[in-house]
């Protein structure tokens, strides 16, 4: 399994805009991609901003490329996300899962 990590930041007064975009646009698209396993949207207060962390799980890098294109390390930031966020990472990080604990 491959874990894909991406971060974006928003002003406090826009704290609900990205979660709405994630629910309404990103999640439905991801669910239709073969090899997509799941994702979490996390947030934390960072000074006067909210930082969002998106962690998605994939069966393979090929599945990720079906979503992200040939340059899998480049972030996929749709116009709705750009409008919701003050800043965001242009690149993502991928990790190979070597152990997992589920309860």
* Residues shown for the chain: 103
User: What's the count of helices (H) and strands (E) in the chain, helices before strands?
Assistant: 4, 5
Q: How many domains does the chain have?
A: 1
Residue 103 lies inside a defined structural domain of this protein: no
Q: What is the CA radius of gyration of the chain?
A: 14
Residue 13 lies inside a defined structural domain of this protein: yes
Express as a percent the part of the chain with pLDDT over 70: 100
Query: What is the distance in angstroms between the CA of the first residue and the CA of the last residue of the chain?
Result: 18
Provide the 10 A C-beta neighbour count for residue 96. Answer: 8
Provide the 10 A C-beta neighbour count for residue 6. Answer: 19
- Residue 96: per-residue pLDDT: 97
pLDDT digits (tens, 9 = 90+) for 55-103: 999 999 999 999 999 999 999 999 999 999 999 999 999 999 999 898 8
Q: Note whether 39 and 27 are within 8 A (CB).
A: yes
* Whole-number Å distance between alpha carbons of 34 and 46: 35
CATH number for the domain including 6? 3.30.70.100
Provide the domain limits for residue 9: 2-96
Residue 85 lies inside a defined structural domain of this protein: yes
In this prediction the pTM is 0.92
Q: Note whether 21 and 84 are within 8 A (CB).
A: yes
pLDDT digits (tens, 9 = 90+) for 86-96: 999 999 999 99
Residue 20 lies inside a defined structural domain of this protein: yes
């Amino acid at each position: 399994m491959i874990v894909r990590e991406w971060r974006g930041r928003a002003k406090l007064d826009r704290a609900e805009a990205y979660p709405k975009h994630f629910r309404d646009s990103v999640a439905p698209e991801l669910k239709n991609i073969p090899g997509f396993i799941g994702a979490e949207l996390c947030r934390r207060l960072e000074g006067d901003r909210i930082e969002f962390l998106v962690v998605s799980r994939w069966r393979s890098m090929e599945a990720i490329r079906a979503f992200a294109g040939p340059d899998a390390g480049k972030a996929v930031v749709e116009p709705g996300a750009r409008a919701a966020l003050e800043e965001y990472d242009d690149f993502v990080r991928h990790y190979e899962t070597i152990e997992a604990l589920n309860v």
